[in-house]
Homo-oligomer: A and B are copies of this chain.
Amino acid sequence: MEKKLSNEAVNRSAGVIPVEHQDCIQGRGRSSARETIGRVAAGAVAKKILKQYSGTEIIAYVSQVHNLVLPENLVNHETMTPDQIESNIVRCPNPEYAEKMISVIDAVRAKGDSVGGVVTCIVRNVPQGLGSPVFDKLEGELAKAVMSIPATMGFEFGSGFAGTFMTGSEHNDEFYIDEHGKIRTKPTALGGISNGEIINMRIAFKPTPTVSRKQNTVTRDKRETELIARGRRDPRVVPRGVPVVEAMVALVLVDQLMAQYAQCMLFPINPALQEPLQLSKDKQLQVQF
């Protein structure tokens, strides 16, 4: 015995959702990740503004599919390019691991099952000073933004959960002077405010719930039954999350940049008190009156 079960049906179980589209099936429900098209469109504008204003680059990629974890030493966050990531369908910057990930997904698809994974997102050349010191910390805004993407279950900023296994002296928030003579530090945000270092985030995506295998469920009149979902399904949600993560991060940063710009740039910075906003070398535009 088979039943149709859609995203909408799943979400209807929250009980108080108005049931507008009773017969929505096949990935077309209100909670379908298809709504993210609008986020990606807006994010494209945001990314362009950030690139042009401060050379800021937001790059996300798949760093884990199911049990297969891309080793950190195989990617260089300083030099990685979007082209490397878009060179394969799993959006993994390392070609060898990309092949492995495709194999993992194929194997799972053959069994009618699905997998989740992790998207890593970095931000290079982020302007200093974005964010707020207490409730609206930059990492909080980013966390909310990516946790609003369907299927996300976790967010890590900087050292994340791995950092909990380090001691304070290993975790290393030390300041040092880099080869260009600039004061640098490891943390990418301090007290909720960006410091110009590369931001590094990891986002967990659960396996797509709509699988082709027979599953147990119950009918509305509470009889136990089984179902095989017939809606459109995707065994590999993670690569699809990559552009959505980039978009949400870009939207947060543009919002913060506008707030920062309005608060701090109406008048020139007093150099006696602080250094000016660091802009990347490829920023050609000059604000003029």
Contact = CB atoms under 8 A, between A and B. Distances in A.
Interface in A42-72: 49, 52-53, 64, 66-67
A136 interface: yes
A11 interface: yes
B287 A267 contact: yes
Interface string A152-194: 1111111111011111111101111100010101000111111
Contacts of A74: none
A262 interface: yes
A195 interface: yes
Contact of A215 (B7, B174, B177, B287): B174
Interface string A245-289: 000000000000111111111111100011111110000011111
Given A137-B147, A257-B266, A289-B277, A165 B67 contact: yes
A213 interface: yes
A239 to B, nearest CB: 14
B66 A164 contact: yes
Contact of A147 (B128, B143, B257): B143
Interface residues of A, number: 120
A116 interface: yes
A134 B163 contact: no
A170 B111 CA distance: 13
A66 B265 contact: no
B209 A168 contact: yes
Contacts of A15: 128-129, 195-196, 274-275, 277-278
Interface string A138-156: 0111111101101011111
B194 A14 contact: yes
Contacts of A279: 289
A135 B224 CA distance: 34
Interface string A197-235: 000001011111111010111100010100000000001
Between A17, A205, A216, A279, the greatest number of chain B beta carbons within 10 A of the residue's beta carbon is seen for A17
B193 A14 contact: yes
7 contacts: A18-B273, A113-B169, A137-B147, A142-B147, A153-B161, A259-B262, A265-B287
Interface of A: 7, 10-11, 13-19, 30-31, 35, 49, 52-53, 64, 66-67, 108, 113-118, 128-129, 133-137, 139-145, 147-148, 150, 152-161, 163-171, 173-177, 181, 183, 185, 189-196, 202, 204-211, 213, 215-218, 222, 224, 235, 257-269, 273-279, 285-289
